[in-house]
Structure 1
Amino acid sequence: MTEASVFLADSISRPEEEIIVQYIQERESPIHIFGEPGVGKTTILERVITGGLADLDADMRNIRANHGLNDLFREICHALFAALPEDKKDEGRQFAGLSVSSPVGGAGVSFESVEAEASRAQFGYRDSLLGLSELFPEGQRLLICIDDVHELSDDERAIRGAIQEADDTLPAEVVLITAGRLAWDDLKTAVSLSMFTEEQTVTFLQDVFPEISAGRVRTIHDQLGGHPLYIGLLAESDVEQELPDIPEREVQQEIEQRYFAFLEPDERRLLLATAPLDELNEELCTQVVSEEYGFDRVTVGDILDSLSTRTVVQTIGRNADGLQTFKVHDVFRESCKSDPTTLTSPAEARVSITLRN
């Protein structure tokens, strides 16, 4: 097996990426990426931002499980405000009631002051967006990326309407791109992501396992239906082997179990104990696991840092207190929540069940 292999299937070129880049270059907006969990929506969004768009500033933000439609406008306001030239910051702050905070680990924008809260209550984020858009310099390009928009509401029509309203308000040089499970078939700039083609699976697995035959790859591809997440998990969990071991039955469940066993024991304990949580950070995780496992905050921080390099954990930024925040991939988190006894030892499973109850 090659050294320092990348197990996330983000090294595979996908034709949809070229389409998205073309839309951006043509200033088409909004652009929406959609597909089922694990097909690579976030990955392709990050690839678009980091490659081929050097002349364009980009701001990527995540919608979280407790967010609502108004938070879409808030995140876009924050991105627009952050991109304002310094000589327009004061005017933008006064207009929108925005204040600048500098939490531990980085700067940010928040509605933290009394005046700011009053302004928000009076005008709302929609009015703030209108004012900031009028203030935004002509000719200044910006790409605003909002991930996980399906979390905004159970009403899909309302989500689409809010995205369209926000986009209609933005300056012409600002491109809004969203991603999530939300389908949007009647949007001409919607891009649907599906599974890997057989050729993409061959490219990825032969890069990770140089000795693997095309026939063996085709078998894996057929068994997993070309699912990028499970192909990545299979590769990462078989890191010490020259060739991946193909499960004979219940393929996806077997790969989940194998991947879980591949993780360090403390990583497994933390994931099981915190599976019901939508997001993870040092403080919250320490509260959950300190009594049962004796983990202090430093230990929890080290475990989270380690998990952030894994296929199933995504770093999503900092919360209002400046703490680094993480999200476990929905597919894997649901496995931990649904039946922890299938993933780990009976003792660890009992602790996990106790913590949740």
Structure 2
Amino acid sequence: MSKPVNPAVIGGFSLGALTLLVVALLIFGVGDDLKADKVQYVVFFDSSLNGLDVGAPVKMQGVKIGQVKEISLQLDRKEGKLFKPVVLEIDRSSITGSSGAPLPDPSDFEQLEKNRDRLVELGMRARLETQSLLTGLLYVDLSFYPDKPPVYAGLEYKDLLEIPGVPTTVDELKNTAEEVAQKLRAMPLDQIVGDLADSLREIKDLLRSEDVKRSRAALADSLEGLDKTTKILNKNLEPILRNADKTILNTNLLIKDTQAMVAELGKQLPPLISNTDKTLNAATAAMKRAEDSLQYVDDAIGPESTLSDTLEAVKQAARAVRDLGDYLERHPESLLSGKNHSEN
């Protein structure tokens, strides 16, 4: 007689088969769709990768957009260099364009490369940053550094597009320190130290010299005199300021009086100007009449005037009277007998 079948066993087998079916669908069906939502890039870092693990976050401006998918080493036998390719897996849906569309599908390599070139042109670079100072773990930060030129390794790795990397802040400080150290090593430090010692010795001798001592004494005297002068000024400054205030007050009053005088003069000036014009006109007319009178006198007493002829006749008559008087004075008897014609 056969044993009855346990329903629990049958249910367990059925549940196991269903689970295997779901896993198979995820692996062979949905897996391709999930993979299509990821875009991979490669970065060749020169910095140490100590603290960077697979699965470390990839961030842009502090927002997680993916993770580190793979870390490996690549040897360039020709150059004798060891490169460290790091594969970044970016979620397409985490970055969208202005239209809201996600990154291009990984199968559209040409469009994916155009987008990468545009972002690199805008300054996108990959850089290692510290997650925590306590743990020392690192993550990959995709930020924009337009002042740093893109530097590509120029290597092929699994046909992935390369994103140029930049040194970490610590590496930049190390590089700067190394450059400073190289410049210091190139400088003649022994000569500089010797010249500095000589200069210090000369300064020491100068401070001990008599000239410096006299200068110190003169400076002390000057400071003492300055202190006395300052005290005198402080003592006399208050009266001076009071007088200055009075002077300013009187000046303001004088300005006000002057302004009032100017205003009054401005009122009286138009009539005065009018009277002056009338006086000038009268003087001009008088001068004109005087000029006419002088012209009349000039015409009356000129060489060709009748007055000139009359004066000449009077002059001749006066000369004849004078001659007659002289003759009578010499010959008074001529008044009785008449003039002797024999006399000249």
Greater relative contact order (Cα 8 A, min sep 6): structure 1 or 2?
1
| TM-score grouping bracket, smaller chain normalisation | under 0.3
More helix by share: 2
Structure 1 or 2, whichever has the larger Rg, is 2
Using the size of structure 2 for normalisation, the TM-score is 0.18
